[in-house]
Amino acid sequence: MLNRINKFGTIIAFILISFYACDEIDAPYRDKDNAAAVAGVNYIDESNVSIDGDTFSFPIDNSIPPKKVLAEDYTGTLCGNCPYAGEKLNDTIKPGYGDRLVVISVHSGFFANPCPAGFACPPSRPAGALETDFRTSIGNDWDVLFGNSNAGNPNGLIDRMDYPSSHIKAPAVWAAKVQERSQLAATFGLRILRSYDASSKKLKVAVQSRAIGNQTGSYKMQVVLTEDSIIDWQYWYPPVSPAADPHFLHRSVLRSGVNSTFGEEISAGGFSNGDLVLKGYNATIDPSWKEKNVRVVAFIFNAITYEVKQVEEISLMP
Amino acid sequence: MDAQYYFKDSLIGAPEVPQKLLSNGFANFEYEKGNFSAGIRYESYLDPILGYDTRYQGSGIPYRYLRYNIGDLDVTAGTFYEQFGSGIILRTYEERGLGYDNAIEGFRVKYVPIRGLTVKGLIGRQRNFFSTSEGLVRAADVEWNLNESCDSMAGNKTQWIIGGSFVSKFQKDDDPVFNLPENVGAGAGRISMNSEGWTASAEYAYKINDPSGTNGYIFKDGQALLFNLSYTKKGFGAIFGVKRIDNMGFRSDRDATGNSLMINYLPALTKNHTYSLAALYPYASQPNGEIGLQLELFYNFKPGSTFGGEYGTDVNINYSRAQSIEKTLIDTVGNPEAIDLGYTSGFLMFGKEVYFEDFNIEITKKLSKKWRMHLLYMYLHYNKSVVEGRASEPTVYAHIAALELGYKVTSKKNIRTEIQHLYTKHDKQSWAVLLLEYSIAPNWFIAGFDQYNYGNDISAQRIHYFTGTLGYTRKTNRITIGYGRQRAGIFCVGGVCRNVPASNGFLMSITSSF
């Protein structure tokens, strides 16, 4: 009888211990500090910053800029339906907006895992085809948060609106959502200055934001690098044939983050009209990238809703 | 062992397979002596047949166990399958057709302290192809059969069973943004009653915040309710089931997708059809939220009655439906961080979006000593975007009919045919199927099967998917060889699905038990 009670007691104790194995999380749900001090960056005032000895100065500008729109195309080289969506975004929608529409192609998820290891790698492919890996750690982290590849490529985010319930937008609605966002009044101005030394591959970037009207809430700034017009393999589903295309034009491919994965905080409590925030960074350009096609993209977003308030883009080379 | 030899078939999108031949194979070895038992399963995917996850590639012994039973105590060390209640917080099982195996490797203890009371505890990591998951699973379950325990209830016609379970998983938080819970727990309570033809069972489950790739990293809790009621007597049966699922995806790796590392099982509550066109658009359970119900009636018209005729007639009517739950986004005015809680949902509030609806009638009748017949009519509403998780896919409304006839040539020789038709204006439009099968019991069968997408709007896609199969069975050995085309689609068992790519080639299957 004692043995029976011991065995029963052991199992009951196990059950009780299991009940304590629960971590109920209360707000704040996101308080990890991703901002890091950038070596060589010294802030002089809200309009002047020294980066590795070079001073970047923003002249006073109180003009009201247009609201620019950020379109993120979540894609993959092995996603046969994705090039149709990418071409629609870059060749049909973007020409109507010019520099008021900034595109980032984020290669991530199942269909971005290249050959030969990628699970979606077609058994039949020319030697060496579809082996370029366009994935980035920042793009992978974005994809995990927003769930784009999990929802089935191709899809995208338009100004990251409607997070977290319906932020993933099908290509069919991209045009309408871009138009909707482009008609909003700008709540921030955003300017980028940069210098680039081709011999050392060193990039220096200064980004200044300006609140237009009083803005409540907390905001973050994200700076990334993209490379446009990369000619490389892409897989197509019918009717395009052959399915593996060696000359596909990959547009605005996300290459790396300049600051942290989900940006850095520029305000925890909001802004008054005209408030300025200045940020400086330095980065190194990968030798394999074509410098003339590399662009610096900066955007401001609500730290809680991720909604992009303003975006700006500038070429690496003047 | 299954092996397939592939040919490229551009018309149906079947790719060229460099290896030409792919195979999936397994062998189970079990040993038992007295209270001790042990077993291993050798698995080999060289390379995995198209449609199976390529992470299976290779060979190994992912399933191995030692088990000892001493009367009221049962201990397993190694790999094991387990289910608590209906499985809504824990069910590990293997479904070979899906390439699904979420077995746990670790320790399990079952104990019966008093008659009718069973207590289980387990700890381990789930199988992840040929490795195990990063997350750790701890679980316990208690089930009490009141009639077995209480002498005063032993003779009752009404039988009662109650139970409760708890599952906790641990996974380290290394997320760059969120403060994620490293220990996530889920609990469930259940009750079932059985009395003179009536059976009723209910189970409710609750899961604490579990941000994951499946739910968009929201910190909302999860709930699930299952209720089943059935009544049977000779010649009549009725089954009613209802479920509500809200944010109940539960995996031992919060970033896992597809069919990987699911701890729990959420039943589809829809009918599993056997006719190929009726199974063309199967339903997959939606862990982020759904309300579903199913009603099934069965009646046997006796021989000699108006509808029964000389040999009697069986009629089966089934209706199932699944739709969204109401979701109200959290009001973030003055509390912006609440956006990470996602939404609220009234417990019995229906959403407006229909995911799946299936109404079908089946009639089975023996027409004469030689002939038998099976008829099916089915109406289907299939929300392809939701069920298959693909944006901008059409919703399919379809009418399906099938006629199956069997003719007994002699006592050992039979001919069977199926004529099926699916009518729809959506997706790939209408299909027709013809099957002919000739069997010589107990050893041989030969069958030809053609699935024809005759209604496709694109004339070049009006394709015949023909398959021919020859099978031989002797004692416990069965060999099947075949050749044909496989259309691309999804294949589901019990609400869990996998994608099936198009293929063209030979298939050989060998099954042997000794």
pLDDT, tens digit, for every residue of B212-226? 988 888 999 999 999
Contact B110, B74 (CB under 8 A): yes
pLDDT score recorded for residue B171: 95
Work out the minimum CA distance from B113 to partner chain A, whole angstroms. 6
Q: What is the rounded distance in angstroms from the CA atom of residue B63 to the CA atom of residue B77?
A: 11
Chain B residue numbers touching A24 (CB-CB < 8 A): 181, 208-209
Interface touch B19/A123, C-beta < 8 Å: yes
Instruction: Determine what percent of chain A falls in helix, strand and coil, rounding each to the nearest 5.
Output: 20, 35, 45
Closest CA to B323 of B356, B346, B300: B356
Burial class of residue B364, CB neighbours in 10 A (0-12, 13-18, 19+) = middle
8 Å CB contact of A165 and B329: yes
Of A21, A141, A217, the CB nearest to B168: A21
The answer to whether the CB of A78 falls within 8 A of the CB of A45 is no
Tokens 């599952």 appear where? B167
Q: How far apart are CA B459 and CA B471, in angstroms?
A: 35
**Once rounded to an integer, what is the mean pLDDT over residues B148-175?**
91
What is the predicted pLDDT for the residue at B72?
92
Q: Which of B211, B238, B227 is nearest to B316 (CA)?
A: B238
Question: Phi/psi class of residue A160: alpha, beta or left (left: φ > 0; alpha: ψ in -120 to 50)?
Answer: left
The answer to whether the CB atoms of B17 and A123 lie below 8 A apart is yes
Return the pLDDT at A2: 46
B146 assigned to some structural domain:
yes
pLDDT value of position B226: 97
Q: Taking CB atoms and an 8 Å limit, are B15 and A34 in contact across chains?
A: no
A95 touches chain B (CB under 8 A): no
pLDDT at position B189 over 60:
yes
Chain A residues inside the 8 Å CB shell of B142: 15
Which pLDDT does position B448 carry in this prediction? 95
State the amino acid at position B105 in one-letter form: E
- Position A34 pLDDT exceeds 60: no
Cβ–Cβ < 8 Å for A34, A262: yes
| Chain B contact for A247 (CB, 8 A cutoff) | no
Question: In A, which residues are within 8 Å of B255 by CB distance?
Answer: 144
* Dihedral sign, Cα of residue B457, residue B461, residue B462, residue B467: negative
pTM for the predicted model, two decimal places: 0.76
Nearest neighbour of A19 by CB, restricted to B6, B166, B337: B166
Is the minimum CB–CB distance between A12 and chain B shorter than 8 Å?
yes
Average pLDDT over residues A54-67: 94
In a domain, B307, yes or no: no
Tell me the residues of chain A between 42 and 81 that have a Cβ less than 8 Å away from chain B. Answer: none
What residues of chain B lie within 8 A of the CB of A152, using their CB?
388-391
Q: Is residue B50 part of a domain?
A: no
What's the confidence (pLDDT) of residue B388?
A: 83
Interchain CB distance below 8 Å, A144 and B213: yes
Average pLDDT of chain B, as a whole number: 92
By C-alpha distance, which of A176, A78, A183, A57 is closest to A122? A78
What 3-state DSSP class applies to B76?
strand
- Among B109, B337, B392, the residue with its CB nearest the CB of A27 is B337
- With CB atoms and an 8 Å threshold, state whether A122 touches B15: yes
Name which of B6, B177, B208 is nearest A24 (Cβ-Cβ): B208
Instruction: Assess contact for B395 and B382: CB atoms under 8 A.
Output: yes
Report the range out of A34-48, B166-180, B242-256 with the highest average pLDDT. Answer: B242-256
Q: What is the pLDDT of residue A287?
A: 93
Q: Which residues of B299-337 are buried (b: 16+ CB within 10 A; e: fewer)?
A: ebbeeeeeeebeebbbbbebbbbbbbbbbeebeeeeebb
CA distance B349 to A204: 55
In eight-state DSSP terms, residue A84 is: H
- Calculate how close chain A gets to B227, using CA atoms only, in Å: 25
Q: Between these two residues, A171 and B347, which has the higher pLDDT value?
A: A171
pLDDT for B3 equals 95
Residue B166 placed within a domain: yes
Sign of CA dihedral A262, A267, A270, A275: negative
End-to-end distance of chain A based on CA atoms, in angstroms? Answer: 87
> Are A317 and A196 within 8 A, CB to CB?
yes
Mean pLDDT over each residue of chain A, to the nearest integer: 89
- The mean per-residue pLDDT over the stretch A112-140 comes to 88
Summarize pLDDT for B87-118 with one digit per residue, the tens: 999 999 999 888 899 999 999 999 999 999 99
B395 within a domain of the structure (yes/no): no
Q: Chain B contact for A3, CB < 8 A?
A: no
A299: β partners: A222, A311
Question: Are the beta carbons of A254 and A104 closer than 8 angstroms?
Answer: yes
Q: Is residue B278 part of a domain?
A: no
Q: What is the mean pLDDT of residues A2-30?
A: 66
Please judge whether A22 and B16 are an interchain contact, meaning their C-beta atoms are less than 8 angstroms apart: no
Q: For residues B460-486, give the mean pLDDT.
A: 93
The average pLDDT across B363-389 equals 94
Report how far residue B136's alpha carbon sits from residue B122's, in angstroms, rounded to the nearest whole number. 11
Residue B78 falls inside a structural domain: yes
Instruction: For Cα atoms A272, A275, A281, give the angle at the middle one, nearest 5 degrees.
Output: 140
Q: Which residue has the higher pLDDT, B378 or A317?
A: B378
Contacts of B140 in chain A (CB under 8 A): 11, 14-15, 18
CA gap B511, B70 in Å, rounded: 34
- Which of B6, B50, B138 comes nearest A18 by C-beta? B138
Residue B455: its pLDDT value, please? 96
The helix (run of H) or strand (run of E) holding residue B117 is: strand B117-128
Residue B130 counted as domain residue: yes
Domains of chain A: residue spans and CATH: 37-315 (2.60.40.10)
Is the N-terminal amide bond of B176 cis, ω within 30° of 0? Answer: no
CB B483 within 8 A of CB B504: no
Any long-range contacts for B256-260 (C-beta under 8 Å, 24+ apart)?
A: B256/B133, B256/B213, B257/A110, B257/A150, B257/B213, B257/B214, B258/B53, B259/B53, B259/B98, B259/B99, B259/B100, B259/B496, B259/B497, B259/B498, B260/B128
Residue of B nearest to A109 (CA): B257
Written as one string, the DSSP assignment of B419-448 is: EEEEE-SSTT--EEEEEEEEEETTTEEEEE
Is residue A16 packed enough to be buried (19+ CB in 10 Å), middle (13-18) or exposed (0-12)?
Answer: exposed
- Residue of chain A whose Cα is closest to the Cα of B120: A11
Q: Per the omega criterion (within 30 degrees of 0), is the bond before A126 cis?
A: no
Residues contacting residue A200 through CB under 8 Å, at least 6 positions apart: none
Q: Where are the beta strands (DSSP E) in chain A?
A: 41-43, 48-51, 54-57, 69-75, 101-107, 155-158, 188-197, 202-211, 219-227, 230-235, 244-250, 253-257, 264-267, 276-284, 294-302, 308-315
**A40 in Cβ contact with A51 (< 8 Å):** yes
In this prediction, residue B33 has a pLDDT band, given cuts at 50, 70 and 90, of: very high
Separation of alpha carbons A257 and A141, rounded Å: 11
The answer, yes or no, to whether residue A33 has pLDDT greater than 60, is: no
- Give CA–CA dist A78/A261, Å, rounded: 25
Cα-based distances in Å from B43 to B17, B56, B60, B76, B101: 22, 9, 6, 21, 12
Spatial separation of the C-alpha atoms in residues B26 and B39, rounded to whole Å:
13
Domain extent for B171: 71-222+255-267
Q: Nearest CB to B53: which of A4, A32, A119?
A: A119
State how far the alpha carbon of A93 is from the alpha carbons of A159, A179, A200, B391, in Å.
15, 9, 37, 19
What residue in B sits closest to A123 (Cα-Cα)?
B17
Cβ atoms of A72 and A104 closer than 8 Å: yes
pLDDT score of A150 more than 90:
no
- Residue A1's pLDDT band (boundaries 50, 70, 90)? very low
pLDDT digits (tens, 9 = 90+) for A67-101: 999 999 999 999 999 999 999 999 999 999 999 99
Which residues on B lie below 8 Å from A14 (Cβ)? 121, 140
Q: Count of CB atoms within 10 A of residue B502's CB? A: 19
Contacting residues for A166 by C-beta, under 8 A, at least 6 apart: none
CA distances A194 to A53, A146, A188, A222, B310, Å, are: 13, 30, 20, 15, 91
- Residue B208's SS3 state is coil
Q: Hey, is B509 helix, strand or coil?
A: strand
Q: Residue type for A241, please?
A: S
Q: Return all residues near A228 (Cβ < 8 A) that are at least 6 apart.
A: A251, A252, A253, A293, A294, A295
In a mutational test of the A interface, the residue from B392, B498, B504 whose CB has the highest number of chain A CBs within 10 Å is: B392
Q: Which chain B residue shows the shortest CA-CA distance from A8?
A: B113
Find the angle CA(A207)-CA(A212)-CA(A218) to the nearest 5 degrees.
70
Collapsed DSSP state (helix, strand, coil) of residue A227? strand
What DSSP element (H or E) covers B78?
strand B73-80
Looking at chain B, which residue has its C-alpha nearest residue A170? B391
Q: What is the pLDDT of residue A248?
A: 95
User: Percent of chain A beyond pLDDT 90?
Assistant: 66
Alpha helices per DSSP H over chain A? 2-19, 82-87, 137-146, 148-151, 171-182
CB-nearest partner of A304 from B73, B218, B339: B339
Query: How many distinct structural domains can be found in chain B?
Result: 1
Q: Which residues of B439-460 are buried (b: 16+ CB within 10 A; e: fewer)?
A: beeeeebebebbbbbebbeeee
Q: Are A107 and A135 in contact (CB under 8 A)?
A: yes
